[in-house]
Structure 1
Amino acid sequence: MPPTHGRGAPTNQFSTRFNLPSRQADGDWLDAMEGIDGPTPRLRTTVRQLTPRTIISRNASPDIGFSQSINAYAGCEHGCIYCYARPSHAWHDLSPGLDFETRLFAKPDAPALLRAELAHPRYIPAPIAMGTNTDPYQPIEREWGITRACIAILAECRHPLMITTKSDRVLRDIDLLADMAQDGLVAVGISVTSLDPKVIRTLEPRAPHPDKRIAAIARLADAGVPVHACMSPIIPAITDHEIETLVPRIAAAGARGVSFIPIRLPNEVAPLFRQWLDVHYPDRADKVMAIIRSMRGGRDNDPRFGDRMRGQGVWADLIRSRFAIARRRAGLSADRVTLRSDLFRPPQGPQLSLF
């Protein structure tokens, strides 16, 4: 199957979990459409609005370092083929494949919802994470500005914030982040998966070039913003050979620490990733999947808490050892920054405080 230009998923494979069976060729006009009309035109990104009733999501996962998160967008134009958030698009009756990266949703009410939730008398402050499902700095943030509006409210309320992104667009908000960093209220994680532009073009087709992400680490560090880098995911036989090269680059840029997660392939991500391998790495597709299964207990994915972020077996141990050595040689830490919650002050409503 030919790749879709500028996109990560080779196809628009539908979920079979939410009444969206995969379409089978049956001889009708859709099967002959390309031959009659010519190649399918380039996919364009569309954005629709979502109107949730709340914006802070909560979780009790034992292997995630936060309990609260905000996702300003659903779907992500970066198009990372490995993205564990792809299956969430099925909840919108859309495909975790090309729909996930072309048919996006924005939540313009997020800032107002956030202000209301922070003002609730029973709200207990704890770090809020942004970028846990889809990237808060994907390209549509330039027009919608929802991420910045939410950060401005958190800065006003002196509320702790964790950001994860693979975009240098985070630098647009360096004024807010540097101000919050002075009080120990913010930490930023930059994802750098590979330094090879040929790999990135198909692995993360619409994410910024890795050199821009490295430069963003340096700019944030110079501004006093704590930065942690993530080499996530590590894909055996595709990116794992870059561990010893990438970790020193991250250290030289000024990151305080670096971590990794071996690739995860939950639900529809597994067949999409297999298709991607067949298109871009047919010479090693079987090898890559064999190694992944060896790290996941013989399956494409191991969803168990504790194991899903680490992997198991010889290959997982080898990657873990190599990463630990590279991190130690670079003088980097595996620890995350501890953020303050004691400075929180609820947002002021129309009735001003008497004190």
Structure 2
Amino acid sequence: MPPGGTSLPSPRGRGSAANIGGRFDTWQRERPAEVVEADRLQREQAPDDTPLLPDPRTELLIDTARSVLTRNQSPDLPFDRSINPYRGCEHGCVYCYARPSHNYLGLSPGLDFETKIFHKPDAPELLAAELAKPGYACAPIALGVNTDAYQPLERQTRLTRRLLDLLLACRHPVMLITKGALIERDLDLLAALAAENLVTTAVSLTSLSSELSRRLEPRAAAPQRRLAVIRTLAEAGVPVGVSFAPLIPGLNDHELEKGLEAARRAGAAWAHYGVLRLPHEVAPLFEDWLARHAPGKAARVMAVLYDMRGGQRNDPRFGHRLRGLGHYAELMAQRFRLAHKRLGYGEAPHLDCSRFTPPAVPRQGPANPQLSLF
């Protein structure tokens, strides 16, 4: 809950209610008691769901990173390298595990994460330079796994499309996951990649309820629209799966089987799931969201989450962070396995790394490689 002891209403189209302090801050925001009381009275007199805060505008900022390829050694992930064209995400998913990364920029994991979006305008050029290095060994790149590569600002920057253009030209395999419908814009590139076994896609589905989705993920595509995206990709011959995540006890866990069924009917060929994670500042943000949108369920939801994490709000250990511990985690795993088998889901295809051709990058310095003494 934000400092001041009371929950604020969210601005329209935003998941967070305020800019909470980060774990690296040496100060904390405090709301005066008279302001807290004025907010309470205003909420009591306003209709339900009325946004009482000014709508913050999205700012597009430049990320001056020198590299775009991030490596990991996590056994929980099916890839060892990834590219994130954006830092921050306008979708505003309140549960997003990437929110704490805005602390490293001196910004809040709250509204700042949703409204101050950093992009890497030279990402394709930086990637080309890395792929052209003599020692580079080809393996699938996951594109947009920390924050969505198809968030609304992609319409303006076209960074993801430019990256796909490069990967197609190099015959480099790529993996995508999104909850945005903008991926359909790049169907031509995705179909060309798919024809050479160079791409897999996945759509993240959190709920079949438009109402719950609107509150959890205010600027992401609606559930039925995401199912339509799965259908469009499948019909175009682009391999597509579904990720039912995050699974939240008491909120969407009852939809697991129905969500998997709907995705399978739409054309999803494989599926996976993940249980809600609450690293660092995500925990107070999510607790505040519960206080605003599901106060009657808040205590039960948090009790099960604490039980799944061994009495903590988060368990970052490999092998545990995506599934959890205890009876609830075992029950969810069993339900998923049974539904996966009953619905005839398979596994994601293995992508072809054998035809990778390094990009031609302009040589730095004199064309003649012979060094000069003078």
TM-score normalised by the chain length of structure 1: 0.93
Measured in 1, the distance between the counterparts of 2:232 and 2:54 equals: 39
Match of residue 324 from structure 2: 311
Aligned counterpart for 2:95 among listed residues 67, 82, 92: 82
1:275-354 matches, cutoff 5 A: 275-333=288-346, 335-350=347-362
Indicate whether 1:207 and 2:220 are aligned: yes
Task: Answer yes or no: is the 8 Å Cα contact 1:25–1:31 preserved in 2.
Answer: no
Count of aligned pairs: 347
* SS of 1:304 mapped into structure 2: coil
Gaps spanning 5+ residues in structure 2: where? 1-7, 42-51, 364-374
Q: Which amino acid aligns with 1:14?
A: G
Match of residue 254 from structure 1: 267
State the 1:336 CA deviation.
2.6
Task: Answer yes or no: is the 8 Å Cα contact 1:63–1:306 preserved in 2.
Answer: yes
Change (3 A) 1:203 1:26: closer
Aligned counterpart for 2:119 among listed residues 103, 106, 121: 106
Measured in 1, the distance between the counterparts of 2:146 and 2:301 equals: 25
Measured in 2, the distance between the counterparts of 1:350 and 1:311 equals: 48
* SS of 1:153 mapped into structure 2: helix
Q: Which amino acid aligns with 2:163?
A: C
* SS of 1:232 mapped into structure 2: strand
1:49-88 matches, cutoff 5 A: 49-88=62-101
Match of residue 29 from structure 2: 23
Indicate whether 1:183 and 2:183 are aligned: no
Aligned counterpart for 2:148 among listed residues 92, 112, 135: 135
Measured in 2, the distance between the counterparts of 1:57 and 1:270 equals: 25
Measured in 1, the distance between the counterparts of 2:159 and 2:361 equals: 20
Match of residue 48 from structure 2: none
Aligned counterpart for 1:5 among listed residues 12, 19, 27: 12
How many percent identity over aligned positions?
48
* SS of 2:354 mapped into structure 1: coil
Match of residue 126 from structure 1: 139
Task: Answer yes or no: is the 8 Å Cα contact 1:20–1:93 preserved in 2.
Answer: no
State the 1:40 CA deviation.
4.0
Task: Answer yes or no: is the 8 Å Cα contact 1:55–1:70 preserved in 2.
Answer: yes
State the 1:184 CA deviation.
1.0
